[in-house]
A = this chain, B = another copy of it.
Amino acid sequence: MRTGIATVCLSGTLEEKLRAAAKAGFDGVEIFEADLVTSSLSPEAVRSLADELGLGLDLYQPFRDFDSVPDELYRDNLRRADAKFKLMDRLGIETILVCSNVATASIDDDALRAEQLHGLAELAADHGVKVAYEALAWGTFVNDFEHAWRVVADADHANLGTCLDTFHILSRGWDTEPIERIPGEKIFFVQVADAPKLSMDVLNWSRHYRVFPGEGQFDLPKFLGHVARTGYNGPVSLEVFNDTFRQADVERTAVDAMRSLIWLEERTAKHLAAGTAESGDPAATPTPAQLAAASRAYPMPLTTLPQVAPPSGINFAEVKADPAAAGASELERLLAQLGFESRGEHRTKPVSLWTLGDARIILNRQQARGVAPAISALGFDVENSVTAVARALQLKAVAVPRTSQANEEVLQAVEAPDGTEVFLCQDTLWAEEFGAGLPASATEPPAARIDHINLAQPWQHYDEGVLFYSSVLALSPQPSQEVSSPAGLVRSQVMQTELVGGERAVRLALNLAPWVQADSVRGTVADTFQEHIAIAVPDLIATARACRARKLPFLEIPENYYEDLDARFGLEPQFLATLRELDLLYDRDEQGDFLHFYTATVGSVFFEMIQRIDGYDGFGAPNAPVRHAVQHAAQKSK
Name A residues whose Cβ lies closer than 8 Å to a Cβ of B: 11-13, 16, 33-34, 36-43, 76, 79-80, 83-84, 87, 198-201, 204, 208, 243, 246-249, 252, 459-460, 484, 486-489, 514, 517-519, 521-523, 556, 558-561, 563-564, 566-568, 570, 625-626, 628-630, 632-633, 636
Instruction: List chain B residues, Cβ under 8 A from A34.
Output: 484, 625
Measured CB to CB, the nearest residue on chain B to A627 is B38
Give min CB distance, A22 to chain B, whole Å: 18
Given A38-B625, A42-B560, A200-B200: A484 and B246 within 8 A (CB)?
yes
Give the complex CA separation of A84 and B560 in angstroms.
Answer: 11
B629 and A80 within 8 A (CB): no
B247 and A38 within 8 A (CB): no
Given A40-B630, A561-B37: A246 and B488 within 8 A (CB)?
yes
Residue of A248, A558, A560, A567 with highest tally of chain B CB at under 10 A: A560
Give the complex CA separation of A489 and B200 in angstroms.
Answer: 20
Instruction: List chain B residues, Cβ under 8 A from A567.
Output: 80, 83-84, 87
- Copies of this chain present: 2
Contacting residue for A83 out of B199, B460, B566, B633, CB 8 A:
B566
Q: Besides the contacts A37-B626, A199-B204, A200-B200, what 14 more A-B pairs have beta carbons closer than 8 Å?
A: A11-B522, A13-B633, A38-B558, A39-B629, A40-B630, A42-B560, A83-B563, A87-B563, A199-B200, A208-B489, A246-B487, A246-B489, A247-B488, A459-B518
Instruction: List chain B residues, Cβ under 8 A from A36.
Output: 560
Give the complex CA separation of A252 and B523 in angstroms.
Answer: 10
Contacting residue for A38 out of B16, B487, B561, CB 8 A:
B561
Give the complex CA separation of A558 and B517 in angstroms.
Answer: 35
Instruction: List chain B residues, Cβ under 8 A from A630.
Output: 38, 40
Measured CB to CB, the nearest residue on chain B to A201 is B199
Give the complex CA separation of A488 and B459 in angstroms.
Answer: 14
Give min CB distance, A51 to chain B, whole Å: 19
Can you name 13 A-B residue pairings with CB atoms under 8 Å?
Answer: A11-B488, A12-B486, A13-B632, A13-B633, A16-B486, A36-B560, A38-B626, A38-B628, A76-B570, A83-B563, A246-B484, A247-B487, A459-B518
Give the complex CA separation of A241 and B84 in angstroms.
Answer: 47
Instruction: List chain B residues, Cβ under 8 A from A84.
Output: 567
Give the complex CA separation of A523 and B247 in angstroms.
Answer: 10
Contacting residue for A39 out of B13, B488, B489, B560, CB 8 A:
B560
Instruction: List chain B residues, Cβ under 8 A from A560.
Output: 36-43
